[in-house]
């Protein structure tokens, strides 16, 4: 069988820094080939070269045996390469058929007038091929994330895609949607479409892929047939060393109640939320995307109006702004590091100092000495890898950026620390350091509320787990009772208590 | 702000200064009258009006905002001051009221933008029209004259051979430089422009920062208006028309990003000087004022294009 895609000896540098070195990859017809690696391993750079967003320095890319250079996403399309991105690229206010044929609408001759009848029937046709019973005139914004993704796949097929790149396709899907997606992948395999599957979820990769290739630090490490390799082998390939303990949970003394929430509600987002956290305790909050977990974190931090009562250290507090929440002793590390956690154009030093300027200033003037001492101390304590503290924060890796976000909050000495997806986009080594930090904090008597979509992380680090579904708490489990299955049942709406 | 980030940062920042030196060099070769002490002070005096407005505009633009109402604030606040002086009020009191009124007009802008959540362009476009209208109402469309002689000192006087407007400009520059570089408020301005959401989540009252920034812009516009009124010895109802554009041009020429978060006030001073020197030099060369506009616009476009290509 000839290979659909053969990539060999790819090199790519940015500003003299090698990000890909002699990388190879191949894809057969009707195959699902998983691409794995830590963040920064070079997966997305390789995919961007394949899809014409970046150009390669040297190396060869052959599609169906002929050397092919995609110089732009447009030419990649004509070569039969399509990427389904993590963030979907659809226009919510347009209908399915309008999105599917955006930029290549069927017209009546060349009049510029759209031939709706033809577009509708073509769209319907592609949707049915994938076993989807959707009305082509529905607005994309009204579809679920899973449905939108399938429409995007249908769109790729309508462009004759032979090579489909699926980038973290299941991150936002419910269990049932994932099953549907996997059925669809099976259908596509029979049609001879080759798929490159990027995911961090080991279980899925073992379920869906035929082969697995691992990259590390821009190097090709190896390719394995899925049915002969093991998770341990893959982790070792990705990390380059054995990780002894993924979740170094320590036992702490659980003290007095730090935070209590009674009847918290937010119009259309949160309903009747009740819970409490104690000093030294890590409370995990699990749930699917859109379950209201981040909304809860934000409501606690004074963003948006809420009904109900919040108590910190047993005293009722009215929280109507982040400034207020900080004063009450709370800190929030948001899930959206780039959008909400950091100011990319400011230095590491300025970002670390931002919520602490009051204590670093005299009469409104920032004390350079106090600031520098504080920053040097934080960088050392958190092991942030920087050349110097004046470096732009946007030049750091994901893990180090996250440490800066955590560092800026630790200095406010919070009593309650809310972590929203603290290890998203962070590699395994930095993850371990963040877990260690959480341990140090609870040992000092901080109460931690941690939100995570990674179930193993929730189970591994929490003393207690709450599960949310559609803005409500649908389950509460002690550390001993919590299992992935019980959490998934509660997260998909089945009510259960452990 | 003089915050240097790496070597490329220094080079990038020196761009406007190199441009300024180049223009001075060329003009001094073409015209021997250009590089004389008398002419230099003359240029600086012309620059000062625009520079003062542009300093305030720098704060606004650093937060990713814009203030189109500065020209109208100049006119209305100085009309108030002139009106009071003309009817016999103490000059200092009148100036105080004028400057205070200009600051409050800026505060109105800030409140509409921060609390009303109106886009800065729209909000200040509206207040620009309102304040201009109020100026015409207040002055009945006529210049206010008969100002006390002592008031002329502010715009026409000298201190040790240096024209007073230049002194005011340098004092304001020094104060604003310190505020932007050394205070926590200054830091908040940069952070707000760089990422508003992250700044708010850091517990900073972003509404307050915005309101303050527009108030500063109003304050500087009214100071500039008082100096202009003193120089002209009258308050004109149409004073300051389209001055906002020269101010924005000075800020952008100085390397401050219109999308906020990046820039420095030193650059704005250089930008204002480039515009002033260009005007003066073209005058000395007897270039018609029609062509002057074309050249000025061309230089602005060229500078921004150069800056673009450097950033990539």
Nearest chain B residue to A341 by CA distance is B198
Does the reported pTM lie above 0.95?
Answer: no
Mean pLDDT score of chain A: 86
DSSP code string of A278-316: ETT-EEEEEE-TTSSHHHHHHHHTT-S--EEEEEETTEE
Q: Report the Cα–Cα distance between both ends of chain A, in Å, rounded.
A: 52
pLDDT of res. B215 = 97
- Three-state SS annotation for A454-477: CHHHHHHHCCEEEEEECCEEEEEE
Q: Is pLDDT above 80 for A242?
A: no
Per-residue model confidence as pLDDT tens digits over A460-487 = 899 999 999 888 898 899 988 888 778 8
Question: In degrees rounded to 5, what are phi and psi of residue A290?
Answer: 85, 5
CA distance B151 to B41: 21
Q: Do A322 and B191 touch (CB under 8 A)?
A: no
User: What gap in Å lies between CA B172 and CA B163, rounded to an integer?
Assistant: 15
Q: What pLDDT band is residue A40 in, cutting at 50, 70 and 90?
A: low
Counting as low any pLDDT under 70, the low residues of chain B are 1-13, 307-312
A184-to-A89, A154, A171, A406, B50 alpha-carbon distances in Å: 20, 10, 17, 40, 65
| Selection from A425, A463, A387 nearest residue A405 by Cα | A425
Instruction: Round to whole Å and give the CA distance between B179 and B216.
Output: 11
Q: What are the chain B neighbours of A301 within 8 Å (beta carbons)?
A: 201
Q: What percent of chain A has pLDDT over 90?
A: 27
Instruction: Give kind and range of the element (H or E) at residue A407.
Output: helix A398-410
Contact A366 B184 (CB under 8 A): yes
Tell how strand A58-63 and strand A3-14 pair up. antiparallel
pLDDT digits (tens, 9 = 90+) for A12-28: 987 777 789 999 999 99
Asked whether the beta carbons of residue A343 and residue B195 sit closer than 8 angstroms, the reply is yes
Q: How far is B284 from chain A (nearest CA, A)?
A: 42
A209 pLDDT more than 90: yes
> What residue in B sits closest to A332 (Cα-Cα)?
B201
Q: Which of A345, A366, A408 lies closest to B187 in CB terms?
A: A366
| Residue A250 contacts B where some CB pair is shorter than 8 Å | no
Nearest to A353 by CA among A340, A369, A337, A338: A369
A432, two tokens? 């371990």
Q: What is the DSSP track for B53-88?
A: HHHHHHHHHHTT---TTHHHHHHHHHHHHHHHHHTT
Contact A321 B205 (CB under 8 A): yes
Cα A318 to chain centroid, rounded = 32
pLDDT value at residue A244: 55
C-alpha closest to that of B43 among B63, B64, B28: B28
A394 and chain B in contact, CB less than 8 A: no
Name the closest residue on chain A to residue B6, using Cα atoms: A391
- CA of residue A127 relative to chain centroid, distance: 28
A46: part of which helix (H) or strand (E)? helix A43-50
* Record: contact B201-A343, CB cut-off 8 A: no
Pairing of strands A32-36, A194-198: parallel
pLDDT given at position B4: 38
d(CA A423, CA A427): 8
Contacts of A180 (CB under 8 A, 6+ apart): A146, A150
- What pLDDT is attached to residue A8? 92
Degrees, nearest 5: CA angle B220-B223-B228 = 125
Question: What value, to the nearest 5°, has the Cα angle with vertex A112 and ends A111 and A116?
Answer: 105
How many angstroms separate the CA of residue A302 from the nearest CA in chain B? 9
- A149 Cα to chain B: minimum distance (Å): 29
Tens of pLDDT, residues A435-450: 888 998 899 899 999 9
pLDDT digits (tens, 9 = 90+) for A397-449: 778 888 899 888 888 889 999 999 888 777 777 788 888 889 988 998 999 99
Subunit contact B201:A323, Cβ cutoff 8 A: no
Contact (CB<8Å) B187/A392:
no
Question: For an interface test with A, which of B201, B206, B257, B311 has the most A Cβ atoms less than 10 Å from its Cβ?
Answer: B201
More confident position, A371 or B2: A371
In eight-state DSSP terms, residue A367 is P
Please tell me which residue of chain B has the smallest CA distance to A320: B203
pLDDT at A488 over 90: no
A460-A462-A466 Cα angle (round to 5): 120
Residue the block writes with tokens 């395999």? A189
Minimum-distance CB partner of A346 among B4, B191, B197: B191
Cβ distance B201 to A350 less than 8 Å, yes or no, reads: no
**Do B191 and A350 make contact, defined as CB atoms within 8 angstroms?**
yes
- How crowded is residue B299: how many other Cβ atoms within 10 Å of its Cβ? 17
Which chain B residue lies closest to A323 (C-alpha atoms)? B203
| DSSP-assigned letter for residue A165 | E
Mutation site for A-interface testing, chosen from B203, B208, B258, B264 by largest number of A Cβ within 10 Å: B203
Minimal-distance CA residue of chain B relative to A327:
B203
Indicate yes or no: CB of A350 within 8 angstroms of CB of B187.
yes
Number of A–B residue contacts, CB under 8 Å: 85
**Interface contact A365-B202, CB threshold 8 A:** no
Measured between CA atoms, how close is B164 to chain A, in angstroms? 29
Q: Which of B252, B255, B264 is nearest to B4 (CA)?
A: B264
Q: Are strands A32-36 and A211-216 parallel, antiparallel or unpaired?
A: parallel
Compute the radius of gyration of chain A from its Cα atoms: 25
Facing residue for B198 by CB, picked from A340, A361, A364:
A340
**CB proximity A370 to B under 8 Å:** no
Q: Are B109 and B134 in contact (CB under 8 A)?
A: no
Q: What is the pLDDT of residue B258?
A: 86
Who contacts B200 (Cβ-Cβ below 8 Å, separation ≥6)? A322, B206
d(CA B233, CA B247): 23
Tokens 């604030």 found at? B73
Instruction: Please state the separation of Cα B147 from the chain's center in Å.
Output: 25
Residues of chain B positioned with their CB less than 8 A from the CB of A390: 4-6
Closest CA–CA distance from residue B205 to any residue of chain A (Å): 7
Q: Which of A355, A365, A392 sits opposite B202 (nearest CB)?
A: A355
| CB B194 within 8 Å of CB B261 | yes
Query: Model confidence over A287-346: pLDDT tens digits?
Result: 877 788 889 999 999 888 888 999 999 899 988 889 889 889 999 988 888 888 899 889
What's the gap in Å between the CA of A351 and the closest CA on chain B?
8
Higher pLDDT, B254 or A92: B254
Three-state SS for A5?
strand
CB proximity A266 to B under 8 Å: no
What is the spatial distance between Cα B264 and Cα B54, in angstroms, rounded to a whole number?
12
Of the listed ranges A54-68, A87-101, A362-376, B161-175, the least confidently predicted one is A87-101
């Amino acid at each position: 069988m000839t290979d659909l895609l053969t990539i060999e000896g790819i090199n790519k540098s940015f500003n003299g820094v090698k990000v890909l070195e002699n990388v190879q990859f191949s894809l057969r017809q009707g195959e699902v080939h998983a691409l794995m690696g830590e963040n920064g391993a070079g997966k997305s750079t390789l995919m961007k070269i394949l899809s014409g967003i970046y150009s390669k320095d040297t190396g060869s890319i052959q599609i169906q045996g002929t050397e092919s250079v995609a110089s732009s996403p447009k030419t990649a399309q004509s070569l039969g390469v399509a990427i389904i991105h993590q963030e979907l690229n659809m226009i919510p206010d347009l209908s399915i058929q309008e999105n599917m044929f955006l930029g290549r609408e069927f017209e009546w001759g060349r009049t510029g007038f759209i031939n709706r009848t033809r577009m509708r029937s073509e769209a319907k046709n592609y949707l049915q091929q994938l076993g989807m019973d959707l009305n082509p005139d529905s607005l994309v914004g009204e579809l679920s994330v899973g449905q939108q993704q399938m429409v995007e796949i249908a769109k790729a097929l309508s462009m004759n895609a032979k090579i489909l790149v699926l980038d973290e396709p299941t991150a936002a899907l419910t269990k049932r949607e994932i099953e549907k997606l996997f059925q669809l992948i099976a259908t596509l395999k029979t049609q001879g479409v080759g798929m490159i599957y990027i995911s961090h979820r080991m279980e899925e990769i073992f379920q869906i892929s035929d082969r697995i290739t691992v990259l590390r630090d821009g190097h090709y490490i190896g390719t394995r047939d899925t049915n002969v390799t093991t998770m341990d082998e893959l982790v070792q390939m990705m990390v380059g060393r054995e990780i002894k303990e993924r979740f170094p949970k320590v036992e702490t003394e659980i003290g007095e109640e730090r935070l209590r929430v009674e009847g918290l509600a937010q119009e259309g987002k949160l309903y009747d939320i009740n819970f409490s956290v104690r000093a030294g305790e890590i409370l995990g909050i699990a749930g699917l995307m859109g379950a209201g977990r981040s909304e809860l974190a934000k409501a606690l931090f004074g963003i948006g109006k809420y009904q109900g009562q919040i108590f910190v250290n047993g005293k009722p507090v009215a929280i109507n702004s982040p400034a207020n929440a900080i004063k009450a002793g709370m800190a929030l590390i948001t899930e959206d590091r780039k959008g909400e956690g950091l100011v990319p154009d400011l230095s590491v030093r300025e970002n670390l100092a931002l919520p602490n300027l009051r204590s670093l200033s005299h009469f409104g003037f920032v004390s350079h000495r106090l600031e520098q001492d504080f920053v040097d101390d934080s960088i050392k304590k958190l092991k942030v890898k920087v050349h110097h503290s004046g470096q732009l924060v946007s030049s750091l890796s994901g893990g180090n950026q996250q440490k800066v976000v955590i560092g800026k909050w630790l200095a406010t000495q919070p009593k309650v620390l809310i972590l929203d997806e603290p290890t998203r986009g962070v590699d395994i080594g930095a993850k371990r350091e963040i877990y260690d930090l959480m341990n140090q904090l609870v040992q000092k008597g901080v109460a931690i509320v941690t939100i995570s979509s990674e179930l193993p992380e929730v189970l591994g680090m929490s003393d207690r787990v709450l599960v949310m579904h559609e803005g409500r708490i649908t389950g509460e489990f002690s550390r001993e009772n919590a299992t992935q299955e019980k959490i998934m049942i509660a997260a998909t709406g089945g009510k259960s208590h452990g | 702000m003089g915050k240097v980030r790496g070597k490329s940062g220094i080079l990038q920042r020196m761009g406007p200064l190199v441009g300024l030196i180049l223009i001075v060099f060329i003009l001094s070769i073409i015209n021997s009258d250009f590089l004389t002490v008398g002419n230099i002070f003359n240029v600086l005096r012309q620059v000062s009006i625009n520079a003062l407005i542009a300093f305030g505009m720098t704060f606004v633009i650093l937060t990713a905002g814009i203030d189109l109402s500065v020209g109208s604030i100049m006119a209305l606040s100085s009309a108030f001051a002139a009106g009071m002086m003309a009817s016999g009020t103490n000059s200092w009191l009148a100036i105080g009221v004028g400057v205070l009124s200009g600051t409050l007009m800026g505060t109105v802008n800030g409140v509409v933008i921060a609390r009303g959540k109106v886009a800065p362009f729209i909000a200040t476009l509206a207040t620009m029209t309102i304040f201009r209208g109020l100026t015409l109402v207040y002055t009945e469309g006529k210049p206010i004259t008969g100002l006390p002689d002592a008031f002329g000192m502010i715009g026409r006087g000298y201190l040790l051979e240096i024209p007073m407007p230049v002194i005011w400009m340098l004092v304001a520059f020094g104060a604003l430089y310190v505020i932007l570089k050394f205070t926590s408020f200054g830091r908040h301005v940069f952070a707000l422009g760089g990422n508003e959401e992250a700044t708010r989540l850091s517990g900073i009252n972003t509404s307050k920062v915005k309101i303050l920034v527009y108030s500063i812009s109003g304050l500087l516009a009214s100071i500039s208006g008082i100096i202009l009124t003193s120089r002209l010895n009258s308050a004109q109802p149409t004073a300051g028309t389209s001055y906002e554009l020269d101010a924005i041009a000075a800020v952008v020429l100085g390397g401050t990003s219109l999308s906020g978060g990046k820039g420095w006030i030193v650059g704005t001073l250089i930008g204002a000087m480039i515009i002033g020197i260009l005007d003066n030099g073209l005058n000395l060369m007897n270039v018609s004022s029609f062509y002057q506009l074309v050249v000025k616009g061309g230089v602005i476009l060229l500078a921004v294009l150069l800056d673009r290509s450097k950033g990539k």
